[in-house]
Amino acid sequence: MKPLKDGLILLIGAKSYGALRYRGSPTSGRAWGGPMNGQGGRVRLVAELLLKTEPVAIVETGTYRGTTTEWLAAFQLPVYTCEASGLNFGFSRARLGVVPNVHMLHMDSRSALRHLLTGPLSAQLDKPILFYLDAHGSQDLPLAEEIDIIFPTASRAIVLIDDFQVPDDPGYAYDDYGPGKLLTPDYIAEGVARHSLQCFYPRTPAERETGTRRGCIVLAKHADIIATLEGVANLRQLDAPAKG
């Protein structure tokens, strides 16, 4: 860290420093070329998921600078988003604090999910809820725990994991945090088996995707949700070929 930044954070705290950063440079919120990593195919996929599954709420883990949060909020559903870093939380709160349907939590994703499922979302656990899991970026990978928190409780959950391997399309990038922490089907295999999940992948091939071309996976367990996902044109299961 730079000495000036360090000193300011010590003096005013990380959240206030994040808010100052937003006010000084609001456009630095345009991380990765726009919402959903600047990926046009992903934007279409999530928009179609929202239209067809009709969730009552959206939960994002990993707010970062609020770029995807802001886009999700335009669908006029309650959006809950959590962020562990004080700086990123402060930045996003300065950016989105006035948006009435955005609810921001400065929390670890696992604590935030437990809090939401036992609190604000507890009366809607039998309704579809879209979870956008994007709280990765360090050795402490919360993903497997996030799956174990969501599925026993939110029966009609639709879970989209960003930065995930698309096994038959090497053009999609995915995250690697070292041995045993590669965002591949192996990493979530136990959770998929334990909760009897069905897995879907983007139908758009990486060569036709834009932006940073990060892969993703969509998980669901409820038969009604699975039937709906089978009708989502922008999704496919692995035995179905990608097509543009």
Ligand X SMILES: C[S@@+](CC[C@H](N)C(=O)[O-])C[C@H]1O[C@@H](n2cnc3c(N)ncnc32)[C@H](O)[C@@H]1O
Can you give the binding site for ligand X, defined by CB under 6 A?
31, 60-62, 64, 67-68, 82-85, 88, 108-109, 134-135, 137-138, 142
Distance of closest approach, residue 160 Cβ to ligand X, in angstroms: 11
Distance of closest approach, residue 210 Cβ to ligand X, in angstroms: 15
Alpha-carbon gap, residue 64 to 135, rounded angstroms: 9
| Residue of closest CB approach to ligand X | 62
Radius of gyration of the chain from its Cα atoms, rounded to whole angstroms: 18
Alpha-carbon gap, residue 240 to 201, rounded angstroms: 10
Distance of closest approach, residue 32 Cβ to ligand X, in angstroms: 6
Closer CB to ligand X, 49 or 221, in the complex: 49
Closer CB to ligand X, 15 or 221, in the complex: 15
Distance of closest approach, residue 111 Cβ to ligand X, in angstroms: 8
Closer CB to ligand X, 42 or 221, in the complex: 42
Distance of closest approach, residue 15 Cβ to ligand X, in angstroms: 13
